[in-house]
Chain A
Amino acid sequence: MSEQGAAEESTAVLVSEFLQRRQEQIAQRWADADLFRTVFTVSRDEAVEACKAVVDALSEAAAAGRVDDITAPGFRRVRDQLGRMAASRARTGASPGQIAGEVADLRQPVIALLRGEFPDPAGDQAQECVLALTRLTGTLRVVVMETALSAGEEVIARQREQLLEVATPVIKLWDGIVAVPLIGTLDSARSQVVMESLLNAIVAERARHAILDITGVPTVDSLVAQHLMKTVAAARLMGAECVVSGIRPAIAQTIVHLGIDLGTVVTRSSLADALAYALRRQGIVVASGPPVGVSLS
């Protein structure tokens, strides 16, 4: 190991020892800082405990000589806690920039304590230690931000999956007639879910007619049309006839200009027309009875 590397390592060990020795004092000071004070509002003891855990993490990262490494094992243990804290701050309206600022505010109290440890705060060793600790708190800031961001990504991914499920209900309109009201963008993942749930419903309901309503689909381009035709073909293989309904005037003109041939697909402008078509095909007659409330006798 180079001389400089060895010197850096011994500095990091010094910082680590300092953090262990002064853990209680640091925790007491941090507990009054905005970041911890605003999250742990119920009891100050809780805040102090949380602070101690973070001090431990910094100490462990320093002991391993990895003051710049956000993947240091020490940080892993407090990652959950930091993520919850950042999320809690974000919920109360703090911007990512504010949260980063609050983490940065933790540096000053601990640096002040560190300087007090040295008989000559301007000496070389003191400077080295302050620098190492500054880098360490900078790394802590990155860890907090990274944790907060990845938590956000997880939420988004989960919501995407939920949306796939929620947005494709299959509705039984009549004995042997099911309908799927499609809403929003019909990308490949969504259309796969639509096809699966429709085919399952055809089996479960013993449906002979299936209606795909695209009233809520803003854009029908060639990919969407292709998805629709594939779904229709798959339903046909299962013995069900598909009707595509909800084709608005603007969509109809666009499909014609685009040059897509939907000639093999039965289409209707409204869901009501599609239902009427399916009922007629099944030989079901809907007759208007006497007005409600009028006695026949």
Chain B
Amino acid sequence: MQTSSDTGTIRLPIGSDVDLAWVRQQVRQVAAELGFGLVQQTKLVTAVSELARNTLIHGGGGQVEMTALYRGPARGLRLAFTDSGPGIRDIDQAMTDGYTTGSGLGMGLSGAKRLVQEFSIDSSPGQGTTITVAAWATGLPHPRAEAG
């Protein structure tokens, strides 16, 4: 991680469908305040919706930590989704388009990764899962994890 001065962290619970809506609203509001454009807001909120639902459905609930990032003139938002569920056995497989253990489309994790600039998963079976993402409002060119 590059150094960046962080301000206050907002912690929101994820335990029900109502919480999902609340998390989406909060993220949209904070992103708008940080200067995210409409398209960036929509992408970030959609990614958050996918990841928060993963936390709820596969992790059995958990929480999200939201931290505003300031790196020079750039403004960003880091979100860490944590659950203490069964964990992910094969992360590569989970990140594959169309792979699902439930009844969804299997686009949640892989799709969310394409919607944000930084993405990391920390998980092992039985140890729960933490997914950390970060998105930056326009300004500095940011390094892209994916090629193409």
Interface residues of A (CB under 8 A from B): 185, 187-188, 218-223, 225-226, 249-251, 253-254, 257-260
Which of A185, A188, A253, A260 contacts B111 (CB under 8 A)?
A: A260
Q: Is the CB of A222 within 8 A of B43?
A: no
Given contacts A254-B39, A259-B107, 11 further A-B contacts (CB under 8 A): A218-B24, A218-B28, A219-B46, A221-B49, A223-B49, A223-B104, A249-B39, A250-B42, A253-B42, A254-B42, A254-B46
Chain A minimum-CB-distance residue to B107: A222
Chain A residues within 8 Å of B50, by CB: 221-222, 258
Q: Is the CB of A219 within 8 A of B108?
A: no
Q: If A249-B39, A260-B105 touch, does A220 touch B111 (CB 8 Å cutoff)? A: no
CA–CA, A251 and B53, complex, Å: 19
B140 an interface residue at 8 Å Cβ cutoff? no
11 contacts between A and B (CB under 8 A): A219-B42, A221-B46, A222-B104, A222-B105, A222-B107, A222-B108, A222-B111, A250-B42, A253-B39, A253-B42, A258-B50
Q: If A222-B104, A222-B105, A223-B104 touch, does A259 touch B97 (CB 8 Å cutoff)? A: yes
Q: Is the interface of B mostly helix, strand, loop or mixed?
A: helix
Q: State how many angstroms separate the Cβ of B10 from the closest Cβ of chain A.
A: 19
Chain B minimum-CB-distance residue to A189: B17
Q: Is the CB of A258 within 8 A of B46?
A: yes
Q: State how many angstroms separate the Cβ of B78 from the closest Cβ of chain A.
A: 19
Chain A residues within 8 Å of B111, by CB: 222, 257-260
Q: Is the interface of A mostly helix, strand, loop or mixed?
A: helix
Q: State how many angstroms separate the Cβ of A260 from the closest Cβ of chain B.
A: 6
Chain A minimum-CB-distance residue to B17: A187
Q: Is the CB of B42 within 8 A of A258?
A: no
Chain A residues within 8 Å of B41, by CB: 250
B134 an interface residue at 8 Å Cβ cutoff? no
CA–CA, A28 and B103, complex, Å: 64
Chain A residues within 8 Å of B21, by CB: 185, 187
Chain A residues within 8 Å of B142, by CB: none
CA–CA, A257 and B38, complex, Å: 15
Q: Is the CB of A258 within 8 A of B107?
A: yes
Among all A-B residue pairs, the 10 with the closest Cβ atoms? A258-B111, A250-B42, A221-B49, A222-B107, A250-B39, A257-B114, A222-B105, A254-B46, A259-B111, A221-B46
Q: State how many angstroms separate the Cβ of B98 from the closest Cβ of chain A.
A: 9
Total inter-chain residue pairs, C-beta < 8 Å: 66
Chain A minimum-CB-distance residue to B108: A222
Q: Which of B28, B42, B43, B49 has the most CB of A within 10 A?
A: B42
CA–CA, A187 and B49, complex, Å: 11
Q: Which of B53, B107, B112 has the most CB of A within 10 A?
A: B107
Q: Is the CB of B114 within 8 A of A259?
A: yes
Which of B43, B53, B108 contacts A254 (CB under 8 A)?
A: B43
Which of B39, B45, B105, B107 contacts A219 (CB under 8 A)?
A: B45
Q: If A219-B24, A222-B108, A226-B104 touch, does A257 touch B53 (CB 8 Å cutoff)? A: no
CA–CA, A251 and B39, complex, Å: 8
Chain A residues within 8 Å of B107, by CB: 222, 258-260
Q: State how many angstroms separate the Cβ of B48 from the closest Cβ of chain A.
A: 9
Q: B2-51: which residues lie under 8 A (CB-CB) from chain A?
A: 17, 20-21, 24, 28, 38-39, 41-43, 45-46, 49-50
CA–CA, A185 and B118, complex, Å: 27
Q: Which of B43, B45, B46, B50 has the most CB of A within 10 A?
A: B46
CA–CA, A226 and B115, complex, Å: 18
Chain A residues within 8 Å of B46, by CB: 219-221, 254, 258
Q: Is the CB of A223 within 8 A of B17?
A: no
Chain B minimum-CB-distance residue to A226: B105
Q: State how many angstroms separate the Cβ of B137 from the closest Cβ of chain A.
A: 15
Chain B residues within 8 Å of A251, by CB: 42
